[in-house]
Amino acid sequence: AQSVTQPDIHITVSEGASLELRCNYSYGATPYLFWYVQSPGQGLQLLLKYFSGDTLVQGIKGFEAEFKRSQSSFNLRKPSVHWSDAAEYFCAVGPNTGKLIFGQGTTLQVKP
């Protein structure tokens, strides 16, 4: 079955600390992978996407993610977190048409 797992429901980091959000997927075909962010009361904004090529992808707001096929993972990272990064983060997989399978989401809290 196709699925996406975000093992961490809630993460708290201090401002300025590094961040890694985990994402594991199960998908039969070559996956197209996405990270979206949702601020409170808002829709989803695309942070970055992986379709092919370089397995380390850069996104907006200083985020990056690395595709590891052998581990079926697509973890999101940021070297230094800002208070404005507090939000809910969703990993998604699917064909590149918007018909996506989402993970459960990870809520990020940033301590001053």
Torsion of CA 57, 61, 46, 75, to 10 degrees: 50
Q: Binding another protein by CB under 8 A: which of 43, 54, 70, 112?
A: 43
Complex with another protein: residue 54 or 112, whichever CB lies closer? 54
- Which of 46, 56, 58, 84: binder of another protein (CB under 8 A)? 46
- Cβ closest to another protein, residue 10 vs residue 82: 10
Asked if 49 touches another protein (CB under 8 A), the answer is yes
The count of C-alpha atoms lying within 13 angstroms of the C-alpha of 88, restricted to the half-sphere facing its C-beta, is 13
> In the structure encoding, which two tokens stand for residue 14, read together?
């201090």
Residue numbers of the site for another protein (CB under 8 A)? Answer: 4, 6, 9, 34, 36, 41-46, 49, 51, 90, 92, 96-105
